[in-house]
Structure 1
Amino acid sequence: MTKAILAGPDDDGLGTALEGEGIEVSRVEGVLTAAVLDDAGLADADLFVLTDLDEATAIAVAKDRNPDVRVVVYSHDSLPEFARGQTDLAMDPTLFGVEMVAEELA
């Protein structure tokens, strides 16, 4: 089973859509420290989905802790330059609905 960490608010319902595709979702919000991500199951996660780009530094932390995790950004905000090289996929919710994103990630 695919495992995902959904980090940040989920105003669009992406977590529910991912679960509908059979993906096991752990949700975290707030300051995304290494300990928080570890507690959420980062070591076994296939996907790290970030919706709060104020926490973009968590991308580097996630990749450092689990180099194989696929980083997906789902946000209306612009991805900071420093995080672009470690992000596998970035999508704007205005252009990509949650059902389509969940289906693609599953």
Structure 2
Amino acid sequence: MARRCAVRTRPWEGPPERRCRCHTWRLPGIKELATTVDDNRMAPAADPADPAAFPATQKAAWYWTAGASDPEPAVRWALNHDDGYTNYRKLTTGYPRCAR
């Protein structure tokens, strides 16, 4: 289940759980977050089957995951919902898409 919340970027500071602002929610892993996009779609690649599930998905924006890159633990995996591209990135801000 994804959390519906105000859409705004959050800085990457402290532990990943802080991005969701609630101890019962968490950031998903990269494989889990990738299930929210359709590889056959672009702009947006987010699954349109249930637009209410992911309101206000930002175009060309990176969404945080809980996973650190190996061998660079300060770098995090992220997913772009515009094209479904995943990459490990050193971003200063990104969007959370929290899950339970």
Q: TM (normalized to structure 2)?
A: 0.31
Q: Which one has the bigger helix percentage?
A: 1
Task: Compare relative contact order (CA 8 Å, sep 6+) and give the higher one, 1 or 2.
Answer: 2
* TM-score when normalising by structure 1: 0.30
